[in-house]
Every structure is written in C-alpha cells, then in structure tokens.
Amino acid sequence: MHLFAHFSRFCAGFGGFMSKNIAIFASGNGTNAENIIRYFQNSESVNVKLVLADRETAFVLERARRLNVPFACLDKAAWVDGTAVLSLLEDKGIDFIVLAGFLARVPDCILHAYPNKIINIHPSLLPKFGGKGMYGGHVHEAVVAAGETETGITIHYLNEHFDEGEIIVQYKCPVLLQDTAEDVAKKVHALEYEYYPKVIGGLLSEVC
C-alpha cells in the first residue's frame, strides 16, 4: 500500500486534523525515543506526552527526564494485564503510540483500543529476520551471517504477533562483504534516525 493511502486511512479514524498526543514505548537506551522527542519539540501539531518503559534500568527514562517529557515505568504484571497501562494512556489523552526499541508484548486491550494507531520500527527488511528474539544486535548478526547484500528498516503497524503487522514503509542500505554486525548497526541506526520521525509526522500530518 502506498504511504499516502496509510495516511488517509489513519486520518479517517480521527475525523479531521487536530493536535495529536503520542506516547513512546521503549525498553532500553532510548536513542530513537530521544530523536523522536527532539524532532517534535517545537511542533504545534504533535506532542510527545508520555514515555513508558517496562524496566527500571531503561536509560530512556533518564532521557525523558532530561527532556522534560512525563515518563513512567510499569512492571511486568502491568504489561501482561494491560489495564493500568491503558488507563494511563487514557489519562494523558494519548492518540497514537510509537514503539522505539520496546521488547515486551503490547497487551491485546491496548491493541484493540488503538487500532491502526500503534507503529513499530524493526531493524531489518521484514519478513526477513523478524519474530520473537530478533531485535538489536541479534538481527544485525543474523543479517551478516546469512550473507545478505542489503538490509534496512521496516516501519509497520502493530498486531498480535511479533513483527507481522502490515508494513507501512521500508528503507534500505547495502551490506558490504567486509561489513561486521557493528557496521550494519551503524547504517541501520542512521536510517532509523532519519526516517522514523518523518514517517510519524506524515501519519499525523495536515492531511488529517
């Protein structure tokens, strides 16, 4: 599906343009989350209203604190049940959810409350190198081991299965014969930083 068609379908769910509040779910260091927050800092149409983590050691919480974005960490039980998470999202008036290195499964009650309003970024060209346990360095190591000549990022809607939601857009980069997993990671991160905020902005843009 063409990216604009995704925008149009997404916007139909909102019924007109207005300022949108987004939440970022993250589990780790949070570089993508910080990049997204900074991208929208001066936006009049998109507000990063909340950062949620599933582990207290996630450095993304410190990044959110430094950037004056409200944040919270909910324990494993909360993410299994989902009720407390959903209540917090509703209290903050969240319209749209962005996963940025979030490793836990998003509860069904949240998926049902936000149909076609939750997106994820995966560091490969899905359906290759996706699924449970395939994240971060594990993906890049698998790409190199398989002798792939290209890789990239996939931005997709979230559903009940890891990395199987409808693809919105993909961006590619070459994998050279001499590239290590670390080399591939640098190329993929560059794509993430350049394109993820732009795609989020497009989904929440004035076409709504």
Catalytic residues: 122
User: From residue 162, how far is each of 32, 79, 85, 91, 196 by CA, in Å?
Assistant: 19, 15, 19, 27, 19
Q: Quick one: CA torsion of 200, 168, 192, 35, rounded to 10 degrees? A: 10
